[in-house]
A and B are shown apart, each in its own frame.
Chain A
């Protein structure tokens, strides 16, 4: 399956860039001029490190979705069908990585779909889309 991967050997958690990845995602994918709405969020730690909040396509949300709005596509990426979503937000509550997000103006939640628009704009070349094995379905 396709998975967005961040290399913190290269990413400096936004200390020397303008979070181009977040801005590109917000504008290109979600059509909003607000990086806080992006499907990946880069956070800097005070001790110098950092972390990224993003979806690794683990599929836990697919298991808990009551309306079958979440399914893997042929690339293994978990996609949300807006027509089937009932806005229950169990996907948000059950995501251990806090990667499912919600814009107060939209009923349907959103997350990273490994589309790769962020990869192209990262000035450090820290982001990549990688092909990794699909994890086994978990009982949640």
Chain B
């Protein structure tokens, strides 16, 4: 396949300033609000990246307190996801479940977050006990909330308790006010609610970019797959836009706590609010990176034009794009939703970073979409890009190749507050169940869930938002749907389990891992479940072919989960690490690690915090938190080898059609990998050989990866590993592990 060339003359002429406005509802919303509690606080800016205090709010008891950030917290947990896991551990018991009042949602941006000179530095990390997995989930999200919270005076926000009626938590980092307000009536869906709240809490038009809203939507309360939208004000479009903390159902916890929204109003952002120790290094590193984007992006990933959707056609070409619930890896209609289309459909002459200084600017927007269905039918809206995950999940995986419907699905997922990745995978599962007669029109209440039926897909989502019909069953997610279908006696249990793409209760994200052993492990051997952010190895495994041997793959499953964890400790985005690379990267040793960029991160951390690290210490920082999270999972009743098992669809061909569609490849593997002769064998016999070979290989991978990570063969971190990382300083952590070492 050839490199796509951007042609500005083909970009659709859509007025990106035009959309339906909802500000007419502002006074009605205001009339339904009353203050429950108001507490003053002293706003402060960070010093070396830390404000050195966190905010605790119990939305049930209305307790509002500040907590100090200890040196141990910084040394062991760094910030971001580390702080989230630390607070959550202290808040819950092994018996706590997602909807218990003591469960928390913790939002923490990390010490580097809020830097404006380098791309991808505005992230918030959100941690909670997941309704889908019953273990901690962590989500890395853009938007302005985290940085503005820190610039108001807090390194983290802990939300605990449950309110009786919907509440809004407002933190005014300029005036020094924390206010909990009750709200009756008014909108719940994010695109309306966040627009109203941004205008309500901004002092004037110039202040709009200094306000950020966290909200969910109507479907979050009726499902387990709720998501949180983190807003940012798009100055050129003059509208509120979002990035999503999608995975694992944190939006469901949010609505279960009866939190309607979080609002922060921060100070005007400037380039030095983190008060780093070495601003010169930060400036020089940032400028160097901006130049790299300018010079290389157009010939590499074109992130500024396409966002992450640039890989749709690459995945298709390498037979890795999920099609029809991960049955196949390519489809002839993919050209309708590939990046050549999206770069014409997305607005190009604007700035699309989700935090200041992001020269990668992948948060593309599709403007002027007039909705065809649902409660906002007829409204004109601006929708996210879509990202690759959405094009693949809502699109090819469900057989939807109509880009307008794909955008509408994306829009409603966002405003209803559900995860697009989860929705894509669970809908693909429903559609395959429909294809195979596990579901039918009677069982779905009339929904014809055939491949590509976007209207039925949307109606299932609208049902969920209304809290009715088959949409409520879908909203339980794949794991609980599987259990439900099997209980109803609707199909062969093994088939249902094989094709239901979940691990630990979380749905797979959108990569076909059958031929990528590294990605099979990258999905299943994860802490939170099969989300590619922990170990997105498929590209280096299958496209760049940088980790060819079994040993390379096992090593990658040690290094990359730790390396990528580090982004979440600090408030970094992962994309600028390898979605552009220096021109001479391929000539560098360990090119797949992008060594120059690793050094950038080492420099940015040291220059912000004053704590000198190198690339080895970076990995050790992550290993502390990663192993702590593994022990946390074990404490909550998961985190062992059995919980890292993968559904067979992720490892190999489940059905005869799948095998026969790639028969030559599979037959060759029988010859070359198994040393057998496929001639004369039936497809069923050959499938059985593959199943044995593939599951054995995956099991061997687990053995190797666990050993490399310093875990037992049951997946438990050893006491020696805990000691090496200094985690033996936490007796509770050691106690959990001791119970599983024998």
Contacts and interface: CB of A to CB of B under 8 A. Distances in A.
Report whether chain A binds chain B: yes
Nearest to B355: A66
A98 B271 CA distance: 20
Query: Interface residues of A: mostly helix, strand, loop or mixed?
Result: loop
Contacts of A86: 116, 269-271, 356-357
Contacts, number: 80
Nearest to A100: B287
Most buried by A among B116, B235, B358: B116
Interface string A58-75: 000001111110000000
A89 B270 contact: no
29 contacts: A63-B351, A64-B351, A65-B351, A66-B235, A66-B357, A66-B358, A67-B209, A67-B269, A68-B236, A85-B270, A86-B270, A86-B356, A86-B357, A87-B117, A87-B270, A87-B271, A88-B116, A88-B271, A89-B286, A89-B290, A92-B287, A93-B290, A93-B293, A93-B294, A94-B290, A104-B279, A104-B280, A107-B271, A107-B272
Interface in B266-312: 268-272, 279-280, 283, 286-291, 293-294, 304
Interface string A80-121: 000101111110111010000010100110000000000000
Contacts of B359: 64, 90, 93-94
A87 B268 CA distance: 12
Contacts of B348: 139
Interface string B354-367: 00111100000000
A91 to B, nearest CB: 9
B271 A92 contact: no
B286 A88 contact: yes
Nearest to A68: B235
A66 B351 contact: yes
B717 interface: no
Contacts of B236: 68
A140 B361 CA distance: 11
Nearest to A64: B351
Contact of A107 (B270, B288, B293, B304): B270
Nearest to A108: B271
Interface string B245-273: 00000000000000000000000111110
Given A67-B356, A102-B283, 6 more contacts: A66-B357, A87-B271, A87-B272, A90-B290, A93-B287, A102-B287
Interface in B45-60: none
B353 interface: yes
B8 interface: yes
Contact of A87 (B6, B116, B290, B304): B116
A61 B270 CA distance: 18
A17 to B, nearest CB: 30
A72 to B, nearest CB: 15
B583 interface: no
Contacts of B294: 93-94, 96, 140
B1 interface: no
Given A92-B290, A102-B283, A63 B349 contact: yes
A124 to B, nearest CB: 33
Nearest to A87: B271
B240 to A, nearest CB: 16
A90 B348 CA distance: 17
Contacts of A139: 6, 8, 11, 348-349
Interface in A30-89: 63-68, 83, 85-89
Contacts of A63: 349, 351
Contacts of B304: 140
Q: Which 9 A-B pairs have the closest CB atoms?
A: A87-B271, A93-B290, A88-B357, A88-B116, A107-B271, A86-B356, A93-B291, A86-B116, A139-B348
